[in-house]
């Protein structure tokens, strides 16, 4: 089975302010562009079978700057629809609803946005995975998906056979690369939330070092220098 690489878009003005951003189509900041360019070197050596991106500018521009110039645009990769909470910080929402939890409660509809529940986001993630299954099953190369924080976390959860709400367990920073591989035919987390600013260990290789030599056919992790 092939690996699935998840890339979150680079920094925007609203990620700096920690505002919920779904349909608002913000550009990358100058730092966000720099973050995206820093992904180029570790991605160059990969045998890539397919690249998909959210339609939002912050995702497609990240892909282009990272050396992935012609991704297939997939509308199901758009960010969680934040409905009435678009543009708000979590702290703002909690002042209104102290017990609110995105991963449990979802968001209510706004004037121009319907909002989404965790189940609806999970259904979108399942559609994406179903469309990628032939590529992932063939092991012809790595499949790369460029998208958004909350949706990619839900996508990872569903790839691992977990409910969408389990995405709450996976922190995902801007312009990071995460890799879902396989072990004994089952999806596993191989690397997570790695970037030049957030170096991370290759989870699978760390485990292998503790039990024996590298397994035949095992892929190396991405490395940021």
Total domains in the fold of the chain: 1
Does residue 84 fall inside a structural domain? no
Does residue 103 fall inside a structural domain? no
pLDDT digits (tens, 9 = 90+) for 144-202: 999 999 999 999 999 999 999 999 999 999 999 999 999 999 999 999 999 976 665 44
Catalytic residue among 11, 79, 86, 194: 79
Of 9, 119, 106, residue with least CA distance to 56: 9
Assess whether 11 carries a catalytic annotation: no
Does residue 197 fall inside a structural domain? yes
CATH for 152: 3.40.50.1240
Phi, psi for residue 72 in degrees, rounded to 5: -75, 125
pLDDT digits (tens, 9 = 90+) for 78-127: 999 999 999 999 999 999 999 999 999 999 999 999 999 999 999 999 99
Calpha distance 122→183 (Å, rounded): 23
Calpha distance 222→3 (Å, rounded): 12
Does residue 46 fall inside a structural domain? yes
Residue 41: domain span: 4-76+118-211
Does residue 111 fall inside a structural domain? no
Instruction: Show the tokens assigned to 183.
Output: 């072990």
Assess whether 148 carries a catalytic annotation: no
pLDDT for the residue numbered 167 = 98
Question: ∠ at Cα 137 (133, 140), nearest 5°?
Answer: 110
Catalytic residue among 9, 61, 148, 150: 9
Residue scoring higher pLDDT (205 or 32): 32
Instruction: Show the tokens assigned to 101.
Output: 């939890």
Calpha distance 90→101 (Å, rounded): 9
Does residue 108 fall inside a structural domain? no
Does residue 90 fall inside a structural domain? no
Write the DSSP string, 63-112: HHHTT--SPEE-GGGS----GGGTT-BHHHHHHH-TT--HHHH-----SS
Q: Decide: 22 and 150 in contact? Cβ < 8 Å.
A: no
Query: What's the average model confidence in pLDDT over 15-23?
Result: 98
pLDDT digits (tens, 9 = 90+) for 116-154: 999 999 999 999 999 999 999 987 789 999 999 999 999
Is the confidence at residue 219, as pLDDT, over 70?
no
Does residue 93 fall inside a structural domain? no
């Amino acid at each position: 089975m092939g690996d699935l690489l998840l890339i979150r878009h680079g920094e925007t003005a609203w990620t700096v302010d920690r505002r919920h951003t779904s349909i608002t189509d913000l550009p990358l900041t100058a730092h966000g562009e720099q973050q995206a360019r820093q992904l180029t070197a570790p991605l160059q050596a990969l045998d890539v079978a397919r690249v998909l991106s959210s339609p939002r500018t912050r995702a497609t521009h990240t892909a282009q700057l990272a050396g992935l110039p012609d991704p297939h645009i997939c509308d199901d990769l758009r960010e969680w629809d934040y409905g009435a909470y678009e543009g708000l910080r979590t702290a703002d929402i909690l002042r209104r609803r102290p017990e609110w939890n995105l991963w449990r409660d979802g968001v209510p509809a706004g004037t121009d946005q319907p909002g989404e529940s965790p189940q609806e986001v999970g259904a979108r993630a399942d559609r994406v995975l179903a469309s990628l299954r032939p590529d992932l099953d063939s092991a012809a190369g790595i499949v790369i998906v460029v998208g958004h924080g909350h949706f990619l976390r839900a996508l990872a959860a569903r790839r691992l056979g977990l409910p969408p709400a389990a995405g709450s367990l996976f922190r995902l920073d801007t312009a990071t690369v995460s890799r879902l591989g396989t072990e004994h035919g089952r999806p596993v987390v191989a690397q997570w939330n790695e970037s030049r600013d957030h170096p991370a260990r290759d989870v699978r290789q760390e485990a292998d070092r503790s039990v024996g030599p590298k397994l035949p056919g095992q892929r190396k992790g991405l490395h940021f220098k």
